[in-house]
Chain A
Amino acid sequence: MPFVILAILAALPLTGLSSYAMHLVILVVMWSVVGMAWNLLGGYCGQVSFGHAAYFGVGAYTAGILYTKMAISPWWGVPLSIPVVALFSFFLGYIVLRLRGPFFALATLASGEVMRVTAENLVDFTGGTLGIMIQERTWVEKTWYYYIILLVATVTFVLVKKLAESKLGYYFVAIREDQDAAESMGINTTLYKTLALCISGCLTGAAGAFYMNYMGYIDPNVVFALHDISIITIMIVMVGGVATYWGPVVGAVIMVLLAEWIRSIPGLGTAHYTFFGILLIIIIIFLPNGIVGDFPKLKRLLKLQKA
């Protein structure tokens, strides 16, 4: 089944989709990566982060600054963002992982905002609110961008699946279910939470670095955005299904298409946030495990409607 999906996805550019359609597909795949990364920390390890924009932004800026300051291809940012974000998330984790539950969530939320303000003010380093613009796009065509992010997504999917089925995955879920019990079972909760955060951060950062290359322009309000990055990431996983392999992918499809669709309705504009809010409420009430997690329930509901 995963191979069939991968084959279909790999063949997708051959079907002659329009440039706009390809753009949407690329966004879906990119958001799947961010969603899967968040899911590892939030879904499996139970540490709900409201600040994944921090990692996304640091990844994006790694690529951008390599380009502006070191004059090398921003594509280096995709692999190089991994050690940078690893270091960054280790440092951040040292601070925020001391906190539990809602306190952790608030601290991560603050960390995303702190990064945004920092990036705005380190003008010499980041270009401040002017942002970073890549003068020459690598390709005009979208095909290669698509294959690159598809590769990142495939690696992420396999990595998350392997981790979830290993000792690490069990430890993550044990920490999610009861941190005191996990600690008494000999699990070094601080260590494993930090690991989850670092892996999650690195994958998110790689997606951010890709974003820099693909969009060609970033500024602090774009890549460190609370609504457009941190909250959307959570929504993707909530809608798709927390702690499921395919949840973030399904969530990314729905959220990207929904955002595009609502934005295209005249007179609504940024009111898509309102719809996202309503959607989230509906999901939490009726499908608390998301579309993938509650799929049997969803099928039952649809059948009842028909009958």
Chain B
Amino acid sequence: MADLLEVKRISMLFGGLAAVNDVSFTAGKGEILGLIGPNGAGKTTVFNIVNGFYKPTKGEVLFKERRISGLKPHQVCRLGIARTFQVVKPLQRMSVFDNVLSSAFLRAKGRAEAEGIATDAIAFTGLADDRDVISKGLPLGKRKKLEISRALATQPEFLLLDESFAGLNPHELDESIEIIRNIKARGITVMIIEHHMRVVMSISDRIVVLNYGEKIAEGTPGEIAKDPLVVEAYLGEERSA
């Protein structure tokens, strides 16, 4: 598999604190890559670096063999990387449809085309019935879907999903897993941050594990589950457990 995204030895220092320290990984085209780790491990920081909110203190990020670290988020998005936020950021006083329409303009030539893209995107995530609801009033599960629809409307090749499953009920969880499988089926590469082990183990092709800003493991879900370092990071050392 050709590497779509290459993260090369990135570090991110805030003051003296290394939120991310010398982390490298790659994401191949068409795969679902999981990013897991305990709270504060630096997962969202990695997303913020890939998406352009932060410029890494050291290291670089390549997308389709082009250096993207240092670009602004809107430039990164134009190149084909979209993201969702852990703390959802709906455009509150806009309807669901208008939210998605706003991002659909990115690659549309006119309003009609943008409306087409937006309609597809909300149908894809099952929000079609809520298209005229003002997003302020949406329950969390639907807000998470709105985030995904909005990201999809920019027609990305690579999608960063930051805890799109947190706080969902079991039914919503199943729906979202289905949505992500469908995104993969569309040929979009997905990278997800997830705390829900059942979800991340079942849908990821590969998983990268962070702890205290450092990569401690990488591999298939089966390998990760048996990795002693990972078990230690999550459950503590055997003796003290």
Find out whether the CB atom of A186 lies under 8 angstroms from the CB atom of B106.
yes
Q: Does B83 contact A (CB under 8 A)?
A: yes
**B-side contacts of A174, CB under 8 Å:** 91, 94, 102-103
Across the interface, name the chain A residue whose C-beta is closest to B101: A170
B94 touches A177 (CB 8 A): yes
B13-21, B69-77, B222-230: which one contacts chain A?
A: B69-77
CA A177 to CA B93, docked complex, whole Å: 7
Q: How far is the CA of A25 from the CA of B86 in the complex (A)?
A: 52
Shortest distance between the CB of B47 and any CB in chain A (Å): 10
A260 within 8 A of B: no
CB pair A167 B77 closer than 8 Å = no
User: B72 near A183 (CB under 8 angstroms)?
Assistant: yes
Q: How extensive is the interface on chain B, given as a class?
A: 20 to 34
Are B154's CB and A177's CB within 8 A?
A: no
Give B48-81 as 1s and 0s: 1 = Cβ < 8 Å from A's Cβ atoms: 0001010000000000000000001111011000
Q: Is B111 positioned at the interface, with any CB of A under 8 Å from its CB?
A: yes
Residues B102 and A173 in contact, CB atoms below 8 Å apart: yes
Residues of B within 8 Å of A178, CB to CB, are 89-92
On whether the beta carbons of B111 and A181 are closer than 8 Å, the reply is no
| CB-based contact A188/B74 at 8 Å | yes
Are B111 and A167 touching (Cβ within 8 A)? Answer: yes
Nearest chain-B residue to A171 (Cβ)?
B102
Please give the distance in Å from B229's CB to the nearest CB on chain A. Answer: 32
A166 adjacent to chain B (CB < 8 Å): yes
Residue from A166, A177, A186 in contact with B74 in the complex, judged by beta carbons closer than 8 Å: A186
A177–B77 Cα distance when bound, in Å, is 19
Number of chain A residues whose Cβ lies closer than 8 Å to a Cβ of chain B: 18
Q: Please, which residues of chain B bring their CB within 8 A of the CB of A180?
A: 53, 73, 85, 89
Chain B 108-152 per-residue mask, 1 if CB under 8 angstroms from chain A, else 0: 000100100000000000000000000000000000000000110
B232 to chain A, nearest CB (A): 35
Expressed in whole angstroms, the minimum distance between the Cβ of A19 and any Cβ of chain B is 44
**A84 adjacent to chain B (CB < 8 Å):** no
In the assembled complex, A187 has its CB within 8 A of some CB on chain B: yes
B192 within 8 A of A: no
A274 at the B interface (CB under 8 A): no
Q: When chains A and B are docked, how far (Å) is the Cα of A182 from the Cα of B77?
A: 11
From A166, A171, A173, A181, contact of B89 by CB (8 A): A181
A4 to chain B, nearest CB (A): 28
- The verdict on A167 contacting B74 (CB below 8 Å), with A177-B92, A178-B91, A180-B53 known, is no
Min CB gap A195→B, angstroms: 14
Chain A stretch 236-263: residues in CB contact (< 8 A) with chain B = none
- Give A186 to B89 CA distance when docked, in angstroms: 15
- Judge if A184 is at the interface, Cβ distance under 8 Å: yes
Report which of B75, B83, B98, B151 forms a contact with A170, defined as CB distance below 8 A: B98
Chain B 180-238 residues near chain A, CB threshold 8 A: none
Q: A167-B105, A171-B105 are in contact. Are A187 and B74 (CB under 8 A)?
A: yes
Given A166-B111, A170-B98; A185-B93 close (CB under 8 Å)? no
Residues of chain B with a CB closer than 8 A to A170's CB: 98, 101-102, 105
Supposing A170-B102, A171-B105, A177-B94 touch, asked if A183 and B111 sit within 8 A by C-beta, the answer is no
Residue contact A185 to B92, C-beta cutoff 8 Å: no
* B156–chain A nearest beta-carbon distance, Å: 9
Q: Are B154 and A185 neighbours in the complex by a CB distance under 8 Å?
A: yes
Q: Are B91's CB and A177's CB within 8 A?
A: yes
Q: Is the beta-carbon distance between A186 and B154 smaller than 8 angstroms? A: yes
Residues of A within 8 A of B78 (CB): 186
Contacts of B92 in A (CB 8 A): 177-178
Are B102 and A184 within 8 A (Cβ)? no
Inside 8 A of B10's CB, which chain A residues have their CB?
none
A189 at the interface (CB under 8 A from B): yes
- B82 CB–A CB distance under 8 Å: yes
| Given A167-B111, A182-B102, A184-B73, 5 more pairs with CB closer than 8 A | A171-B105, A178-B90, A184-B85, A186-B77, A187-B106
For this complex, 25 residue pairs linking A to B, each with C-beta atoms less than 8 Å apart, are A171-B102, A173-B93, A174-B91, A177-B91, A177-B93, A178-B92, A181-B91, A182-B102, A183-B72, A183-B74, A183-B77, A184-B73, A184-B83, A184-B151, A185-B77, A185-B82, A185-B103, A185-B106, A186-B74, A186-B82, A186-B106, A187-B74, A188-B72, A188-B74, A189-B74
What are the nearest 3 A-B pairs in CB distance? A186-B77, A177-B91, A185-B103
